């Protein structure tokens, strides 16, 4: 049985997940509403080496190109691991789409995927609104990971917390 304080911390964690994902979904939808945004072009923009995958260093370089200095390489790696479906330590194109495309609006997601994409040269940037949209999503994902880590730590130090106890308490 969880104490009142542990239940409160668990609730705070779950609320933070829901609110953070809601904000991210709106950012993703806003990015996809830009008519010039095509995920293939965005992937090419970040994949400067044309390896057909992204590394944490490439994510970090993209953020630095867009004047985002608050994110570390380690945080980029953690984000990459979160979206890395085959656990090979890099993001494939489909993993990248999971990061950037809406989860709740399948119609907008499909329209965005069907857009014509031009080739992006190695040192070419995308339009500024698209660059900012992508970097904003990545930065917000990292901020959410940070917040959830702190809330998780607060919960785990409680004497009565365990995943089993939390699950048992909810049923």
DSSP collapsed to 3 states, the chain: CCCHHHHHHHHHHHHHHHHHHHHHHHHHHHHHCCCCCCHHHHHHHHCCCCCCCECHHHHHHHHHHCCCCCCCHHHHHHHHHHHCCCCCCCECHHHHHHHHCCCCCHHHHHHHHCCCCCCCCCCCCCCHHHHHHHHHHHHHHHHHHHHHHHHHHHHHCCCCCCHHHHHHHHC
pLDDT value of position 165: 83
Q: How confident is the model at residue 34 (pLDDT cuts 50, 70, 90)?
A: very high
Residue 105 pLDDT? 96
CA-to-CA separations, 147 to 88, 113, 128, 137, in angstroms, rounded? 26, 31, 28, 15
4-161 is a CATH 1.10.238.10 domain = yes
Q: Are 70 and 76 in contact (CB under 8 A)?
A: no
Q: Where do the structural domains in the chain lie, given as residue ranges?
A: 4-161
Residues 69-109 pLDDT 10s: 999 999 999 999 999 999 999 999 999 999 999 999 999 99
40 pLDDT exceeds 80?
Answer: yes
The tokens of 52 are what? 């057909």
Residues 100 and 92: their CA atoms lie apart, in Å, by: 13
pLDDT of residue 163: 83
Across the range 114-129, mean pLDDT stands at: 92
Q: What is the pTM of this model?
A: 0.92
Given this model, what pLDDT does residue 112 score?
Answer: 96
pLDDT score, position 171: 57
Residue 122 confidence (pLDDT): 85
Q: Give 130-161 pLDDT, tens digit per residue.
A: 999 999 999 999 999 999 999 999 998 989 88
- What integer pLDDT is reported at residue 170 of this predicted model? 62
């Amino acid at each position: 049985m969880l104490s009142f304080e542990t239940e409160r911390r668990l609730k705070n964690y779950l609320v933070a997940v829901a609110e953070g994902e809601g904000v991210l979904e709106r950012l993703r939808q806003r990015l996809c509403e830009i008519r010039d945004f095509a995920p293939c072009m965005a992937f090419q923009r970040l994949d400067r080496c044309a390896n057909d995958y992204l590394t944490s260093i490439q994510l970090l370089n993209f953020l630095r190109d867009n004047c985002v200095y608050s994110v570390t390489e380690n945080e980029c790696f953690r984000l990459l691991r979160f979206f890395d479906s085959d656990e090979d330590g890099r993001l494939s194109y489909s993993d990248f789409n999971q990061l950037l495309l809406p989860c709740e609006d399948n119609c907008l997601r499909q329209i965005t995927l069907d857009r014509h994409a031009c080739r992006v040269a190695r040192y070419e940037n995308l339009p500024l609104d698209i660059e900012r949209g992508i970097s904003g999503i990545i930065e917000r994902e990292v901020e959410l990971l940070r917040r959830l880590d702190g809330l998780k730590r607060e919960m785990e130090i409680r004497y009565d917390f365990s995943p089993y106890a939390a699950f048992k308490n909810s049923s």
